[in-house]
Amino acid sequence: MARDKKDPQELSVEDKLKNLYQLQTMLSEIDSIKTLRGELPLEVQDLEDEIEGLTTRIDKIQVDMQGLQEEISKRKIGIKDNLASIERYTSQLDNVRNNREYENLTKEIEYLQLDNQLHEKKIREAQEAYERKQEEIRRCSDNVTERRDDLDVKKSELDEIISETRAEEEKLRERSKNLELTIEPRLLSAFKRIRKNSRNGLGIVYVQRDACGGCFNKIPPQRQLDIRMRKKIIVCEYCGRIMIDPELAGIKINKPVEEKPKRRSRKKTEKPEED
């Protein structure tokens, strides 16, 4: 049974380089679409993270406020219990039989009164802390509202750009995926690694003015000849990018026409007239 597609490993070096350069072209177009979106995706992500952080902060403050309310309630109950005890001890003062009982009841009443003063102090502190928490929640809520407004605007801008470029990007991604199937895995993996490490996303470049099209370092004439021969994969010894000749990349280089040196016209020497 005949095979529909040729095995990528059976392709010639020239075909491999040609497919790789076509893939690079498509990926560069996808990169340019991403560049068109600019910093919007990062700004959207930052705003979402900030909103999430503020929301978590608000939740934590609300938990703290609930704890303060519980503390206030417990201390109010403590005050109420102490007052009941003070009332009971005060009534017992009228029925004491000796000074010792009187002093013990008096000390107990003083202790309960001091305890109530401490409860009241802690209640005031808790109420002040509660009010500060309320103010902090208001600030955080205002910030969340502002950030959500900003997020809506940024998302709207991003969605508009994405909607304009989605069809083109999807088409390019599908074509690049199909093209990857025509490239042997080892070469494709090396290309992707080079592309990832390069600042401009170029994994394969053509020779420009006797230099690498990626890092612009000069290429020796013999190496340029090897590149033009298309017999093996050659990488730049400086930046590691795969190199091809301009013709294979579909680039026409107009060689300057050498001007032929003009011949100097010889002046005819006039013969002297004979007498």
Domain CATH number, residue 61: 1.10.287.1490
Q: Which of 160, 178, 196 is the last residue of a domain?
A: 178
Place of tokens 């990349």: 249
**Which residues lie across from 211 on neighbouring strands?**
208, 218
Whether residue 207 sits in one domain with residue 113: no
Rounded CA separation 260/207 (Å): 28
Rounded CA separation 69/234 (Å): 74
Q: Which of 178, 199, 221 is the last residue of a domain?
A: 178
211 three-state secondary structure: strand
| Residue ranges making up the domain that contains 209 | 184-244
The pLDDT value given to residue 3:
44
Whether residue 193 sits in one domain with residue 101: no
Whether residue 71 sits in one domain with residue 167: yes
Q: What is the CA radius of gyration of the chain?
A: 43
Q: Which two tokens stand for residue 243?
A: 């190199």
Place of tokens 């230099």: 211
Q: Which two tokens stand for residue 160?
A: 């508009």
Rounded CA separation 197/195 (Å): 5
Rounded CA separation 201/237 (Å): 18
Q: Please, are residues 210 and 224 in contact by the beta-carbon 8 Å criterion?
A: yes
Whether residue 188 sits in one domain with residue 82: no
Output phi, psi for 111, to 5 deg: -60, -45
Residues near 232 by Cβ (< 8 Å), separated by ≥ 6? 13, 226
- Judge whether 255 lies within some domain: no
Residue count (the chain): 275
The pLDDT value given to residue 96:
85
Beta-strand relationship, 242-244 and 204-206: parallel
In which residue ranges of the chain is pLDDT below 70? 1-5, 253-275
**Which residues lie across from 235 on neighbouring strands?**
242
- Judge whether 233 lies within some domain: yes
Whether residue 213 sits in one domain with residue 142: no
Residues near 132 by Cβ (< 8 Å), separated by ≥ 6? none
**Which residues lie across from 218 on neighbouring strands?**
211
Q: Which of 133, 154, 178 is the last residue of a domain?
A: 178
Residues near 192 by Cβ (< 8 Å), separated by ≥ 6? 203
Rounded CA separation 212/244 (Å): 9
